[in-house]
Structure 1
Amino acid sequence: MAKKEQSATRRTYLKSGLAVAAGGLLAGCTGTSGEEMTDSSSNATAMSTAESTPEQTAGDESYTVSMAPMGDVEFDSVPETIFTRLTHHAGMAFALGHGDAVNSMHAPEYYHALWNQFTPRLDGVSLDWRGLYSSWEPSKERLYELDSDVHLADPASVAALGSWDASDLEEIEENVGPWFGNTFSDRNRSPPSEWADRYQHYGLWDIFANVATVLREEAKYEALASVRDEMLQTISSTLPPTDERPTAVMLASRDYETIYAYNLNTPGFLTAHTRPLGAVGALGDGVESGATIDFETLLEADPDVILSLGGMHPTTDMSEIRAVLHDHPVASEVSAVKNDRIYAQGARYQGPILNLFQTEMTAKQLYPELFGAWPTYETGPYPEIPADEQLFDRQRVADIITGSN
């Protein structure tokens, strides 16, 4: 990576971006509450295409990619080693065929196992994230050791941890590699106040377009975006009128002593796989998405469908979850429980490939009569779906990732 022999031009350029802006932040990047530990995405429009166009001159291989909150970031060559925190960024590198370049991520063992519930359906595609640095709250010293060519992480979200200040962010960008990521678009949240005037919210696939430009994999992005666009067109042209759609809620719980409930249509990229399906949020406006609820509240909402977050993970037994709900005197009265419409979900910070799979699976879970029934799932990898009931072509996606198309 040419970064190891940094040019004065690039160093000067970076100083005019995040480094200079950091001067106004040194008064204190105050931390906000910890980021949500569950996972997903948002609606995808190509609104940042112009911002992503590389700027090049004859004899100069450097290129510039722009995204909030970093602004313009210049690269002198394609990054070969990639630091990530949250899995939507790691999933983007994976989708572009750079999964092996990722050297860190939050909970790598957990997400290695979860992602590999989906890779068996993509011929020739594999990933191994075991043993990577677990980077939820990274140390500056470890970032020096990793010596990453790019940090696919939102500097505003790192600042929000409270253990980093603006000078730390500038130091890593200057001495190791640039920051490039966006996290507060997960629920269109506000960043720390010091970052507010330079922040912008994006959809999952808009962030993905910019990451693809960083990795010079624009053609792969366009090909994968085409797959998604075709699937969404099929879905939107098939959906029934709103008054004929099911009510639904997503639940997350390890033991059903504490239950987190999520609406399916709230803004932000965490709902990239559910919002296009237009199901009616069972909680309505009475419960904030991400709040804890009890079974009495669930029964009052009475969803037609329950989506169980993390149900696709190999350590989760969906048959046990169903048994808990069926055996509970209150939960057993919920329509979704009575009608056996309790379905597994994967991750909310999902990245583009899981977004394709999860959009398909959720369409089948919500509208089996329109898109084909989702198989009764207990454990194991993503089920085999008959070819005529698949909403996207697995081989086409696999070939895009591996560069075989």
Structure 2
Amino acid sequence: MSDDTRRTRRNVLRTSAALAAVGGLAGCSQDESGARSTDGETEMNAENETDGTSGTDSGTPSETTTAAESSYSVAIEPMGEVTFESVPETWVANNGSWADMGIALGQEPPKGLWLPSRYHTHYYDEIPDVSVDKSNMATLSQQGSVGKEQFYELDGDVHIIDPNFLQNRFDGWDQTDVDEVSEQIGPFFGNSIFSTGYTWHSEYRYYSLMEAFEKLAAVFQETDRYEAFESVHEEFQNALAPVVPTRSERPSAAVVWGAGDQPETFYPYTIGPGTSFKHLRDLGVKDALAETDVKDFHTSRGAIDYETLLEVDPPALLLRGQETKTADEFRDTVVSYMQDHDVAGDLTAVQNGDVYQAGPLYQGPITNLVVTERLAATLYDHDGELFDRQRVSDVVNGDF
């Protein structure tokens, strides 16, 4: 693409209501300046729940009256209507949830992510003819900060990032920086759906995974592909329903972040609405921490140890921060270490062999299928596939 063409596209890939609204919402104080890199974030809105917030914006693109005939606009909070003269060809995204949505829509991977290491592309090994090479994917987070110059280097047509996330999560970003990137490079189109832990997000709505997926489909003009994948999702939910035991037969589970081969410190999570908990909600997992004195990581930013876990003594233990390991590697390192540990060895979950990988923080539509099925197999001893891998491949590759 020539520089002249690029500049022409930049002039029309702008927000119409966008950043004035963002500026009014971004004045909240930063509440996570000391957050650790564990960064356990969740998204509001269960897939089958209403979010109770205002806003009737639709993912369906609408024609604009001020741009060329081929232009279209898509609405998302907090930006409002974002107008596109043509379909974006390159993009930059916040995290693996959005990246996975893009792959499901048949797009090339984003040029950069906040932390590519948390975009677990090995899940695509489950799907024929679908793979992602992250070797050239830029890491936006540099020593806990995001530099504006990175956006110039990546030169994306659109940034699937909530600008309020940049302004409130990282030092050095303000409204003038957001405006500059939008005007000189490409617009922002995003919502921090992964986290309800940020106070600055309380003033505008969140989106569920499938709602956000539909929005992104409208941006890339892939509504038909989204609808095909929505059918896959519905079929999966129908197949999953009989696998989930009645509530009285389901074990309670404690969800904690515990990284490394020999974890000693854990960050606790109470199961709630949000993308990172979608698979747990869909499986009806009972929360062993919900009615204890253990505070959720989002609230406390605190950690617990084996002694605290032993006081709760959950029947099952689900560990995050272990997604790069295979099932055998997880068992031979983490589980083996706990079995030999003076305190952890007394945990009911450890003694009964009910310690499992909890699934990633960031889930898109493909990832969710894989990790939900995996946990159904380990937690409920289900044997067999719950979704059609070839059908997923067909949708991703445009054969629908």
TM-score, with normalisation over the residues of structure 2? 0.85
Which residue of structure 1 lines up, in the alignment, with residue 395 of structure 2?
400
1:2-401 to structure 2, matched below 5 A, reads 4-6=7-9, 10=12, 14=15, 16-22=16-22, 24=24, 30-34=29-33, 37-38=39-40, 43-45=46-48, 51-56=58-63, 60-100=69-109, 102-108=110-116, 110-111=117-118, 114-116=120-122, 118-136=123-141, 137-160=145-168, 161-183=170-192, 185-192=193-200, 196-197=202-203, 199-253=204-258, 254=260, 255-263=262-270, 265-286=271-292, 287-290=294-297, 291-314=302-325, 317-318=329-330, 319-368=332-381, 371-372=382-383, 389-401=384-396
Percent sequence identity is: 34
User: What is the rounded CA distance, in whole Å, between the counterparts of 1:45 and 1:78 in structure 2?
Assistant: 30
TM-score, with normalisation over the residues of structure 1? 0.84
Q: Following TM superposition, by how much is the alpha carbon of 1:50 offset from its aligned partner in structure 2, in angstroms?
A: 5.7
Q: Following TM superposition, by how much is the alpha carbon of 1:57 offset from its aligned partner in structure 2, in angstroms?
A: 6.2
Q: Point out the more displaced range, 274-283 or 58-67.
A: 58-67
What per-residue deviation string (whole Å, max 9, x for no partner) do you get for residues 268-301 of structure 1?
2220111121121111232223342111221222
- Contact in 1 for aligned 2:64/2:83 (Cα 8 Å): no
What SS does structure 1 have at the residue aligned with 2:17? helix
What per-residue deviation string (whole Å, max 9, x for no partner) do you get for residues 116-153 of structure 1?
2x222211111111132211332112212221100011
Q: Following TM superposition, by how much is the alpha carbon of 1:45 offset from its aligned partner in structure 2, in angstroms?
A: 4.3
User: What is the rounded CA distance, in whole Å, between the counterparts of 1:228 and 1:49 in structure 2?
Assistant: 23
What per-residue deviation string (whole Å, max 9, x for no partner) do you get for residues 96-116 of structure 1?
12133x1101332x246x312
Q: Following TM superposition, by how much is the alpha carbon of 1:155 offset from its aligned partner in structure 2, in angstroms?
A: 0.8
Q: Aligned-pair RMSD on alpha carbons?
A: 2.7
Unaligned residue ranges in structure 2 (runs of 5+): none
Aligned residue type for 2:7: K
Q: Point out the more displaced range, 49-58 or 273-282.
A: 49-58
Q: Point out the more displaced range, 217-226 or 149-158.
A: 217-226
Q: Structure 1's 82 and 353: CA in aligned 2 closer, same or farther, altered over 3 A? A: same
- Contact in 2 for aligned 1:325/1:332 (Cα 8 Å): yes
Q: Following TM superposition, by how much is the alpha carbon of 1:390 offset from its aligned partner in structure 2, in angstroms?
A: 0.2
Q: Structure 1's 328 and 206: CA in aligned 2 closer, same or farther, altered over 3 A? A: same
Q: Following TM superposition, by how much is the alpha carbon of 1:79 offset from its aligned partner in structure 2, in angstroms?
A: 0.7
What per-residue deviation string (whole Å, max 9, x for no partner) do you get for residues 194-229 of structure 1?
x654x1011112111101111111122122222122
What SS does structure 2 have at the residue aligned with 1:306? strand
What SS does structure 2 have at the residue aligned with 1:123? coil
Q: Structure 1's 293 and 173: CA in aligned 2 closer, same or farther, altered over 3 A? A: same
User: What is the rounded CA distance, in whole Å, between the counterparts of 1:144 and 1:166 in structure 2?
Assistant: 17
User: What is the rounded CA distance, in whole Å, between the counterparts of 1:204 and 1:94 in structure 2?
Assistant: 14
Unaligned residue ranges in structure 1 (runs of 5+): 373-388
- Contact in 2 for aligned 1:43/1:205 (Cα 8 Å): no
- Contact in 2 for aligned 1:326/1:338 (Cα 8 Å): yes
User: What is the rounded CA distance, in whole Å, between the counterparts of 1:350 and 1:205 in structure 2?
Assistant: 11
Q: Structure 1's 7 and 85: CA in aligned 2 closer, same or farther, altered over 3 A? A: closer
- Contact in 2 for aligned 1:65/1:214 (Cα 8 Å): yes
What per-residue deviation string (whole Å, max 9, x for no partner) do you get for residues 333-368 of structure 1?
212111112222441112211111011111222211
User: What is the rounded CA distance, in whole Å, between the counterparts of 1:153 and 1:237 in structure 2?
Assistant: 37
Which residue of structure 2 lines up, in the alignment, with residue 386 of structure 1?
none
Q: Structure 1's 271 and 52: CA in aligned 2 closer, same or farther, altered over 3 A? A: same
User: What is the rounded CA distance, in whole Å, between the counterparts of 1:120 and 1:267 in structure 2?
Assistant: 28
Q: Structure 1's 69 and 93: CA in aligned 2 closer, same or farther, altered over 3 A? A: same
What per-residue deviation string (whole Å, max 9, x for no partner) do you get for residues 246-270 of structure 1?
111223222422112223x312222
User: What is the rounded CA distance, in whole Å, between the counterparts of 1:142 and 1:362 in structure 2?
Assistant: 37
Q: Structure 1's 288 and 266: CA in aligned 2 closer, same or farther, altered over 3 A? A: farther
Aligned residue type for 1:257: E
